Structure 1
């Protein structure tokens, strides 16, 4: 799929007129840290999109900690920032690709075809002595039209059907992207309940990286997901629908086509008191 691109690939394209680079740096619990870092230094020409303010809707009783943004609001924002349906969009962060993958997922979900995630992140960019800037580019507004791929996302009712054995749930695999200790119910630093959705298998999202923190090759990703069947539907979740996205990107790089996001994820699941939870290993 060639969604993952290298620093040199990005460097060669930063001034091409149909390219928009998006800085997605964000630190959970430090809501201004990403924008502060962007304003201090970023890839030349890059704009900033905030995980919570731009790439999520406000949290409510249900829907998880990072609900998907309203599609029309997102499309209007992209247009205001000078992007249209033909723009080549390159996302980066400094969090292992988790936030950049969220943007990749959202853009693909609304029908965008030319979206890429830069490998490694901003620290590696500066470590390689590549150019940086404090300037914020003037953007000429454009028009963006969303064409939503509804099949890319599922809600809580679908997950309930899966674990109850309803419909064709035997052809579905749930994948939990959180740290193994959170999955097993041994600790939970963020959400109100410990454990995981019954029947879910654990694939910690950072497993898509090699020992140097770079994304694994397609061949290595195929090895990483070798225990995941390609003839079944895969539904991926995490704590709030963000770190599930690098797993989804990696699965698609490895040749899996039927991969969906449970957008509300664990924080949505436990907002319903009647939903069962499991602990330990499946």
Structure 2
């Protein structure tokens, strides 16, 4: 079953048997996703809101999108009709940069039957595939709360490895946010010292689909410079777009990299943590 990407053609053939989750969202307009979902979505798709469904409320010591409460998240999965054996497909309209959060959360539960729609909603509509405005009627099920969950590293673990030559810390944010030249989202500009910058859009082809696996592997092999994939930690602004790089490495056959879900917005809540600006 698909665990990284599915094409629109593959999804269209399985709409009656797979669960589809619409993850469209805008940081600048948190109501955007629900509005466009109501205007039209892939038939049968449920809607997942980044703040309400895929995160927990932020506090003074967390990033902007803290991890969801585990029991609440599993209850939400059940409400969407998802069991541990369900094939899930996620999508958005921003190159997968929001939907990958749900992909990563599910993978952290050990749920491997989850894939991103390659090209997302724009490719689906370009191919003139069906769109619906009706919310699906879902029969709730029980998603058991797993006992073994891997939802990444905390700030202390990142501090311990960030300067290690055996590890690589990769920041997925745009270059000007990484260098600190322009920061319109978080109150402090810059990056975690020791990090390198790999903007998530570098994973994409011109049509918004992921690059071929061979090309991704070549790019990441060069970036890692001998560091083992399992010693790679991904970061971004709040633990969302960095998941795009986690998925890219999985597609490339470089499995095992980890996420710092608190990311930059959590890191800067403690003034004792170091900050760097400029190029890596």
In structure 1, what is the equivalent of residue 133 of structure 2? 134
Work out the CA distance in 2 between the residues paired with 1:196 and 1:150: 28
Deviates more, 1:141-150 or 1:83-92: 141-150
8 A Cα contact 2:57 2:66, kept in partner: yes
* Equivalent residues, number: 276
Aligned-partner Cα distance in 2 for 1:148–1:179: 36
- List per-residue Cα deviations over 1:100-120 (Å, max 9, x = no partner): 111100001112120010011
Offset of residue 140 of structure 1:
0.6
Corresponding residue to 1:240 among 238, 241, 246: 238
Note the C-alpha offset of 1:217: 1.1
The equivalent of 1:180 in structure 2 is: 175
Write out the 4+ residue segments of structure 1 that deviate beyond 3 Å after TM superposition: 148-152
User: 2:154 — aligned with what?
Assistant: 155
Q: For the structure 1 residues 2 and 80, does the alpha-carbon distance in structure 2 shift closer, same or farther, using more than 3 Å as the test?
A: closer
- Mapped partners of 2:61, 2:215: distance in 1: 37
1:130-175 CA-partner distances (Å, limit 9, x unpaired)? 0011111111111102336544500011112124x6xxx4421110
3-state SS of the aligned residue for 1:212?
Answer: coil
Partner of 1:10: 11
Structure 2 residue aligned with 1:197: 192
Q: Distance in 2 between matches of 1:2 and 1:270?
A: 33
Q: Does 1:82 align with 2:77?
A: no
Structure 1 pair 242–5 and aligned structure 2 pair: CA distance change class (3 A)? same
TM-score of the superposed pair, with normalisation by structure 2: 0.95
Partners of 2:120 and 2:255 in 1: CA distance? 26
Is the 8 Å Cα contact of residues 3 and 114 (structure 2) preserved in structure 1? no
Work out whether 1:64 is the aligned partner of 2:63.
yes
Match of 1:211 among 171, 194, 206: 206
The answer to whether the 8 Å contact 2:108/2:151 transfers is yes
Give me the TM-score of the superposition, normalised by structure 1.
0.94
How far the C-alpha of 1:220 sits from its partner, in A, is 1.1
Residue 189 of structure 1 and its aligned partner are, at CA, apart by 1.0
What stretches of structure 1 of length at least 5 have no aligned partner?
none
C-alpha distance in 2 between matches for 1:272 and 1:258? 28
Equivalence for 2:228: 231
Partners of 1:114 and 1:258 in 2: CA distance: 17
Distance 1:149 1:188 in 2: 37
Separation (CA, whole Å) in 2 of partners of 1:161 and 1:25: 35
Distance 2:244 2:176 in 1: 19
**Does the residue aligned with 2:90 lie in a helix, a strand or coil?**
strand
Paired with 2:215 and 2:276, the residues of 1 have a C-alpha distance of 30
Q: Which runs of 5+ in 2 are unaligned?
A: none
Cα offset, 1:54, TM superposition: 0.3
> Relative to structure 1, is the Cα distance of residues 174 and 92 closer, same or farther in structure 2, using a 3 angstrom cutoff?
same
CA deviation after TM superposition for structure 1 residue 230, in Å: 4.8
